[in-house]
A and B are shown apart, each in its own frame.
Chain A
Amino acid sequence: DAGITQSPRYKITETGRQVTLMCHQTWSHSYMFWYRQDLGHGLRLIYYSAAADITDKGEVPDGYVVSRSKTENFPLTLESATRSQTSVYFCASGQGSYNEQFFGPGTRLTVL
């Protein structure tokens, strides 16, 4: 699915550093999402966006910031990374509440 991409694919950082994960989709989907995947917890929603300049919190938003100035991009920033934020991060996009979500390839983030 070349329509949704994430960068970087792998990132190692240190506690306290700011990290930004990028997400780009080419389908012009209205909705975009950020999930984190940890063993035993499945996929947990961090933030979502219903359209450009409209964002809202998900289940686990603390420590994260998002923005969406353009429909196709939805960056996720960890303002001051902590070890508990070590995880695999998936971006997804879709057309609405009851439609398929298309996931990006994921970013594996390690915070030392």
Chain B
Amino acid sequence: GENVEQHPSTLSVQEGDSAVIKCTYSDSASNYFPWYKQELGKRPQLIIDIRSNVGEKKDQRIAVTLNKTAKHFSLHITETQPEDSAVYFCAAPHFDGGYNKLIFGAGTRLAVHP
């Protein structure tokens, strides 16, 4: 089945610095890669996603890059702010009996220090 590995597990940066979180996946048929953000005590929420027909997607200060050959994708946050502090989860689909189930990485806890 699909295996999604996420690194690092924790990340600490100074406000204004960039943060990069990387994920690798094993199912070469995967073609949709979402990123979810979960603030402390809150529910996960989608922040950006990318489909396999593009290599990069940007939305203001966040971007996601995809390398299908190497089977990895990354989340980039520029000019980090304290409100970016949260746990971030990547995910990749795995086809299993009629539906592409999302397999989530273990998460990265990002702390942005003022």
Contacts and interface: CB of A to CB of B under 8 A. Distances in A.
B106 interface: yes
A106 B43 CA distance: 7
Q: How large is the interface on B (under 10, 10 to 19, 20 to 34, 35 or more residues)?
A: 20 to 34
Contacts of A112: none
Contact of B98 (A35, A43, A50, A105): A50
Interface of A: 1, 31, 35, 40-45, 48, 50, 56, 58-59, 90, 97-98, 100-101, 103-106
Given A42-B104, A98-B31, A105-B42, 16 more contacts: A1-B43, A42-B6, A42-B107, A44-B104, A45-B101, A45-B102, A45-B103, A56-B99, A59-B1, A59-B103, A97-B93, A98-B32, A98-B100, A100-B34, A101-B102, A103-B45
Interface of B: 1, 6, 31-32, 34, 42-46, 49, 51, 89, 93, 97-107
